[in-house]
Every structure is written in C-alpha cells, then in structure tokens.
Copies of this chain bind each other. A is one copy, B any other.
Amino acid sequence: MSGTLYGIGVGPGDPDLITLKAYRVLQAAPVLAYPAPETGDSLARQIVAPHLTDEKTEIAIRMPLSAPKFPDNTVYGEAATQLEQHLAKGQDVAVLCEGDPFFYGSFMYLFARMAERHAVEVVPGVSSPMACAAVLGAPLAAQNDILTILPAPLPSDQLKARLEATDAAAIIKLGRHFERVRTLIAELNLTGCARYIERATMEAERVVPLADVEPSSSPYFSMILVHRRGQAWLR
C-alpha cells in the first residue's frame, strides 16, 4: 500500500487558523515536508510548530537564491523523488503550504509532478486576502463586485488597467514594489479606498496608514486592499 501525499494549507500565520482537517493530517502523517529558504527557518513550519508533538521525519524543500525562475528548476523534481521514497514505503507525507496550497502556492509544482502516479489530497486553507480583510475590518467584496487579485511585480500599466476595471482588489507580493504601487493608486485617486497591512495574523502583524509606510521596510507578506466604494460602501 502506497502512502498519500497531502498538500495542506496551514493558513495565513496564526497557528489557530489551520483547519481541523489539516490539523488531523498533520498529527497523523509520519513525514512532513515544507518549503524553506536556502538557509534559515521555514515559515510554514513555524506556523504549525505549536501543533507538533511527536517526532516526525522532516524534509525541508530549500530553494537556492540562485535558482532560476519558478518552476524551471530541479528543486521540485528532486523533492518529488525524495517524497516518493516515503510514499513507496506506505508512509503518508504532509506538505505544509502557507495560506492555501493552490492560491499562488508552490505545492502545485509538486502536485503537477506527482498527482498522476500517487494518491494526492489537497486540504484548502485560509488565504491571506481573507486574513487581511478580517484584521483590517475591511470586507473584500459583496454582491456582484468583481474582485481582482493583483501581484505587485506586474508592469504598472497592467496594474493600472486592472485596478480601473475592478470593484475591489487585493494587491499581493508588495515588497520592493510598494512605492510604485502606492504612486499608481494615488494617480487613480484610490488612496482613500486603499488599506495596507503587513503579516496579517502573525506575531509581527502591523497595520499602517498607506501614507505612512516606509517603502524600504515593506515586506513580501504585505498587502493593499482596495475597494472603489471606499469605507462607507456598506451603509
């Protein structure tokens, strides 16, 4: 009997925002795998740390800084081979994914390599836009709103066109693109409808007025939520 590969969403950061299902898979699986930087800790591993009690085999899937652009590299191929050895022994493997596995998550590269030959189950998780909205007290979308998820690294003209054509937006992956995006939002007269947050639901969570953000300090895990109808749209 071959094991099952689980891709489990561990949620946005607060360890209690993991689902009961993910928690159970986590407890039962003898093997854990998770993405990690070239050196240092894995964020996904940190999120579930309070829930880990017994000894497990752990596999850090480390992404070298020098790696070519996702997913054109050998890291996932090598990881897949390693995980397959455990599955072949009949061991279930739980791959930890920040947020949700299929919402801009790297689990999909393992899924693509392994789903045809192995039993794979994806356990969805709470995603960062929902977590940011909850903390900010800023609903994402209602009724027949169009909601657009926009990665900040996109070219400015594309971001601008998409912001003009949507009711609401979550701009993700800000990091070094923050200042360009803030300027663009101002040019569209959307500053009053935009809210900024860093590391929602994590210990280092920080809500800052958009105007006060120090651009060089904006981390990858920051987000701007925009709703064209502004703050008063619910009343």
- A interface vs B, CB < 8 Å? 9, 11-12, 14-21, 23-24, 70-71, 100-105, 108-109, 111-112, 115, 120, 122-127, 130-131, 133-135, 137-151, 153-154, 158, 161-162, 165-166, 173, 201, 234-235
Contact = CB atoms under 8 A, between A and B. Distances in A.
Nearest to A155: B144
B137 A146 contact: no
A195 B73 CA distance: 28
B146 A104 contact: no
A162 to B, nearest CB: 6
Nearest to A128: B124
B122 A137 contact: yes
A70 B143 contact: yes
A139 B20 CA distance: 22
Contact of A130 (B24, B100, B173): B100
A9 B133 CA distance: 12
A12 B124 contact: yes
A115 B79 CA distance: 47
B149 A235 contact: no
Nearest to A123: B134
A126 B100 contact: yes
A104 B144 CA distance: 8
A112 B234 contact: yes
Given A127-B130, A149-B146, A234-B108, A140 B21 contact: no
Q: Kindly name the residue among A23, A148, A149 whose own CB sees the greatest number of chain B CB atoms within 10 A.
A: A149
A148 B148 contact: yes
A101 to B, nearest CB: 7
A108 B139 contact: yes
